[in-house]
Amino acid sequence: MLPPRREGERSWRRTLGAYVALTKPRVIELLLVTTVPTMILAERGLPSLWLILATLVGGALGAGSANVLNCYLDRDIDSVMGRTKRRPLVTGELTPRQALVFGLVLGVVSIAWFAVVVNVASALLLLGAILIYVVGYTMILKRRTSQNIVWGGAAGCMPVLIGWSAVTGGLDWAALVLFGVIFLWTPPHYWPLSMRFKDDYAAAGVPMLPVVAGERRVAGEMLAYAVAMVACTFALVPVAGMGWVYIGASAVAGVWFVGSCIRLYRIAVDPERRGVASRGPAMKVFHGSITYLTIVFAAVAVDPFLPW
């Protein structure tokens, strides 16, 4: 048996870990991957390290707030889904009241941080992102429509607008193009995960597209979004004057990712492979989507430093 001091230390660490888990750190990490490259493009070079740090800190707090409030509102869904049943509100490590207070405090602090340390425009965009995710997606769309992730996914596009406005104090067509890239990326990123866990979503009564539609339609729509997404990446070339590094990286990554969506579609339409697409092949597209977005935004970050 552990001495009282060791037990107290272990309990404190578990509680802290539970609070951190509510913020969904891996989701935050993906959102921040798009912020710094956008800031570099807006600056056409490296912004001040202080501004980058301030934007990342405020963005992480804001995204954490939205994720915590999502966990609070969706705790009934999380309790019946295998993928989410170990979240702190389901296991009882934290109470709903603790989560609600934590989420609201994070939100207020993040918006105030942006308003004071960065600029008011970025603070208002962050407020909009939180409202889109918590109210628009979680409270209104998620349980009502199979297109929930399409429109609710706009919240995940907001970091590029926030990053751009942090540097310039406003928005530009290039920022809107990057917003469009992530908006079109979201369905072929999230629907493969929904295909893999469609039984969980069905049990929870969440009408994700893979729950209410067959694999053929889901894979077909994913492919359409992927093609539109790649086309949108090339719109950045004339709008932001991107060079050959960005063009080459976007082309190669785009062909590769669209090819993975085509392979998934072929499996989905093959009657002899019914049900196969929602397992391994879907998860390959899911993980591939993360790699794709990382490559494109890495190219966005590198391109402004090159002479062509």
pLDDT score of 278: 64
Write down the mean pLDDT value for the chain: 91
Instruction: Identify the DSSP state of 305.
Output: G
pLDDT tens readout for residues 149-198: 998 889 989 999 999 999 999 999 999 999 999 999 999 999 999 888 88
pLDDT score of 73: 95
> Which domains can be identified in the chain, with CATH numbers?
11-169 (1.10.357.140), 172-308 (1.20.120.1780)
* pLDDT beyond 80 at 1: no
Q: Which residues contact 208 (CB under 8 A, 6 or more apart)?
A: 146, 148, 149, 191, 194, 198, 201
Kind and range of the H or E run holding 73:
helix 49-73
Q: Which residues contact 295 (CB under 8 A, 6 or more apart)?
A: 249, 252, 253
Query: What percent of the chain is modeled with pLDDT above 70?
Result: 94
Helix, strand, or coil (residue 268): helix
Tell me the C-alpha distance between 204 and 128, whole Å: 28
Tell me the C-alpha distance between 157 and 70, whole Å: 17
pLDDT tens readout for residues 204-241: 889 999 999 988 999 999 999 999 999 999 999 999 99
Provide φ and ψ at 187, rounded to 5°.
-60, -50
**Residue that has been written with the tokens 């990057």 in this structure:** 178
pLDDT score of 307: 76
Q: Which residues contact 27 (CB under 8 A, 6 or more apart)?
A: 63, 67
Tell me the C-alpha distance between 131 and 78, whole Å: 21
Residue 163 contacts residue 39 (beta carbons within 8 Å): yes
Instruction: Identify the DSSP state of 171.
Output: -
pLDDT tens readout for residues 20-57: 999 988 877 777 789 999 999 999 999 999 999 999 99
At residue 2 the predicted structure's pLDDT band, cuts being 50, 70 and 90, is: very low
Tell me the C-alpha distance between 57 and 239, whole Å: 29
Q: Which two tokens stand for residue 30?
A: 């993906």
Provide φ and ψ at 301, rounded to 5°.
-75, -35
pLDDT score of 74: 93
pLDDT tens readout for residues 114-163: 999 999 999 999 999 999 999 999 999 999 999 999 988 899 899 999 99
CB neighbourhood size of 251 (10 A):
13
* pLDDT beyond 80 at 203: yes
pLDDT tens readout for residues 260-304: 999 999 988 887 676 666 667 889 999 999 999 999 999 999 999
Residue 208 contacts residue 149 (beta carbons within 8 Å): yes
